[in-house]
Amino acid sequence: MQEVNSDNFTQEVINSDKPVLVDFWGPQCAPCLALMPQVESLELTHGEKVKVVKVDASKNRRLCLELRVLGLPTYLLYKNGESVGRLTGGNLKIQEIEELLKKAF
């Protein structure tokens, strides 16, 4: 899973020719770390149709504020440069993230 930051967010997410699932996580966020292997597997499963990237919120605070990412984990789905879906919360399940991804197809 590619690491994205405020420097390359526009290039990798907004300007992507494929839909992009953005995983906002933090090194101290247990739910983030628990879900990460499953989220990474989404890229293997759906890599032809969607790009999966991650943003370390602890290193990209300004970007998080700009995108109103106030809690972790947060997953944003972008299609054609626009945000088309958002999930937030420590009790998220991979099935909910997969449902969000369906909006991209």
Domain range summary for the chain, segments of one domain joined by +? 2-104
Q: What is the pLDDT of residue 22?
A: 98
Which strand ranges, in their side-by-side order, compose the sheet holding 74-79?
A: 2-3, 51-56, 20-25, 74-79, 82-88
The CATH fold assigned to 2-104 is Glutaredoxin (3.40.30)
Q: What is the pLDDT of residue 84?
A: 96
C-alpha dist (Å) from residue 61 to 21, 25, 66, 69, 85: 19, 11, 9, 9, 20
pLDDT band at residue 103 using 50, 70 and 90 as cut-offs: confident
Q: What is the pLDDT of residue 104?
A: 84
The catalytic site residues sit at: 29, 32
Q: Is the pLDDT of residue 100 over 90?
A: yes
Q: What is the pLDDT of residues 58-95, one digit of tens each?
A: 999 999 999 999 999 999 999 999 999 999 998 999 99
Q: What is the pLDDT of residue 105?
A: 80
Mean pLDDT of the chain: 95
Q: What is the pLDDT of residues 6-36, one digit of tens each?
A: 999 999 999 999 999 999 999 999 999 999 9
